[in-house]
Chains A and B, each alone.
Chain A
């Protein structure tokens, strides 16, 4: 399985909205509504932000939202805050209980 494709970096100013894309294939992102997104601060374990494409776990801000179109999933963060600066990873189910991760995107809050 090849890794999903994410932009290496994105940036935005406080209060703005940003979107991180995650491109897969018809064998993973395109076949299942099972994309998750993780936030990782330096030296910390990843934190689940979105699961099953667009669902938010309890405790995750509604400023985070997920969507999908074809083979590309997206994470949108609205009302950008300084604490949102982190690495973000997408992950998709790829069949046979195997997941595939994206390469990660570094979000900088200007």
Chain B
């Protein structure tokens, strides 16, 4: 069965860095577009970043552009999010999600919590 498992979250100080990972299994990872989506505590969902199946096309939300970098390793069935210059407003649960078609995410991981605080 399809599984997405995020890791790498934790407590980090403002201005710090963190790298999130998402391990995929149960499907041909290299066939699918993937995204990171986050949810601040008690708030709604916010799309963060997208990467095409080959990794050749990448997009970011304006709120993270220039600070976050998405990447993937199809040989390792893994998705990554490098987060630099973290701010308090980046505090959220970060989900990786498989994209079935444009703006349709059919499988989500359990999420990993990132807390940015001094």
Do B45 and A101 touch across chains, with their CB atoms under 8 A apart?
A: yes
Residue A36, interface by CB 8 Å: yes
Residue ID in chain B nearest A95 by CB atoms: B102
Do A104 and B45 touch across chains, with their CB atoms under 8 A apart?
A: yes
Do A36 and B109 touch across chains, with their CB atoms under 8 A apart?
A: no
Residue B101, interface by CB 8 Å: yes
Do A34 and B44 touch across chains, with their CB atoms under 8 A apart?
A: no
Contact pick for A45, options B59, B100, B104, B110, CB 8 Å: B110
Count of A-B contacts judged by CB separation below 8 Å: 72
Residue ID in chain B nearest A103 by CB atoms: B44
Q: Which residues of chain B from 102 to 117 have a CB within 8 Å of any chain A CB?
A: 102-106, 108-111
Q: Which residues of chain B from 29 to 86 have a CB within 8 Å of any chain A CB?
A: 33, 35, 44-47, 50, 52, 57, 59, 61-62
- CB-defined contacts of B33 to chain A, threshold 8 Å: 97
Q: Interface digits, A80-110 against B, CB 8 Å rule (1 contact, 0 not)?
A: 0000000001011110111111111000000
Chain B interface residue count, CB cutoff 8 Å, equals 24
**Interface size band for A:** 20 to 34
Do B47 and A48 touch across chains, with their CB atoms under 8 A apart?
A: no
10 contacts between A and B (CB under 8 A): A32-B102, A34-B103, A45-B110, A46-B105, A51-B100, A93-B103, A97-B50, A97-B57, A98-B47, A101-B46
Please give the residue numbers on chain A whose beta carbons come within 8 Å of chain B beta carbons, in ascending order.
1, 3, 32, 34-36, 38, 45-48, 51-52, 57, 89, 91-94, 96-104
Please give the residue numbers on chain B whose beta carbons come within 8 Å of chain A beta carbons, in ascending order.
33, 35, 44-47, 50, 52, 57, 59, 61-62, 95, 100-106, 108-111
Given A36-B104, A99-B102, 13 further pairs, Cβ under 8 A? A1-B61, A34-B101, A34-B102, A34-B103, A38-B45, A46-B108, A93-B103, A97-B52, A98-B47, A98-B59, A99-B47, A101-B44, A104-B45
